[in-house]
Amino acid sequence: MNNIERVAHITSSKIYLLCQTSTRDKKSPITGNKWSAGALTYFEEKRIERKLGKCLDLGGYSRPSSWGTFLEMVVFNHLGLEYKIESKDTTEHPDEEFKNIWSGSRDLIVPGVKIGEIKCYQLKKFAQYTDALTIPITKTFTMAHKIQNLKDNFSDEYWQMVSNAILNEVNIAEAISFCPYESELEGIRELAENYDGDDQWQFKWIAMEKAENLALLKDGGHYQNLNMFEFEVPKEDIEFLTERVRLAKKEIII
């Protein structure tokens, strides 16, 4: 995973580390600013990457992650033609201040309108995340409450969307959760069997795996296979995250 646009960069997938705060925060040995232990470890890794000129994260493989990655392609078939899937493309921040320091890869984009992030989790987390995305908005549970609930309980996912919205210069984000129905498995197996991309070795197992070993939903059950929540990213969160990256830059470029 040595994409030059990610080497020593703060990336959208890890940017939540910059937003964590607690009474156990520690002072940075570089600036004296307080950060979570996770953020300080992250900054150290980024400083090392700058010296090496390559990413420390070489990528990992597991069947659950492989299943989730493959399903992102399946989700695209459920969406309208206005969406473009670009999960392998990395976007850098457009402003000179953040060049070579802040980048990210969105799963989907409607150019000039919104970004989308697809999560294809195993069953428990799929249920938890989907519950957060599908809470109905009422007079007592407003859009602001729903966004705050997502921020509080799924900060990784939330700040990833905020970051990618900033990087792509849009103010709308769409959170998407997906888990296929049992009835979709035959079609998914066929797609996996016929997939001929460079990373095909990651997905061939899907064509032969038993259904009971895969994250699948019962048809006609409580959950829908595809769930979407679109929201306008709060201006204060854009400003907050931008300032956090501005402070983090001082920890990395020394």
> What per-residue confidence (pLDDT) applies to 56?
92
Helices (H), 168-214: 185-194
Q: What is the mean pLDDT of the chain?
A: 94
pLDDT over 50 (residue 45) = yes
Give me the residue spans of the domains in the chain: 61-236
Beta partners for residue 110, in sequence order: 114
Find the helix packing angle between 143-153 and 123-134, rounded to 10°. 160
In the CATH scheme, what is the code of domain 61-236? 3.90.320
In 3-state terms the chain splits into helix, strand, coil percentages (rounded to 5) of 45, 15, 40
Contact 235, 190 (CB under 8 A): no
Do 235 and 221 form a contact (C-beta atoms < 8 A)?
A: no
pTM for the model = 0.94
Instruction: Return d(Cα 147, Cα 199) in angstroms, integer.
Output: 35
pLDDT value, residue 1:
47
Strand (E) or helix (H) holding 26: strand 26-27
Tell me the per-residue pLDDT of 107-149, one tens digit each, with 9 for 90 and over. Answer: 999 999 999 999 999 999 999 999 999 999 999 999 999 999 9
| pLDDT tens profile 53-88 | 999 987 778 999 999 999 998 998 888 778 888 777
Beta-sheet pairing, 114-119 with 10-11: unpaired
Length of the chain: 254
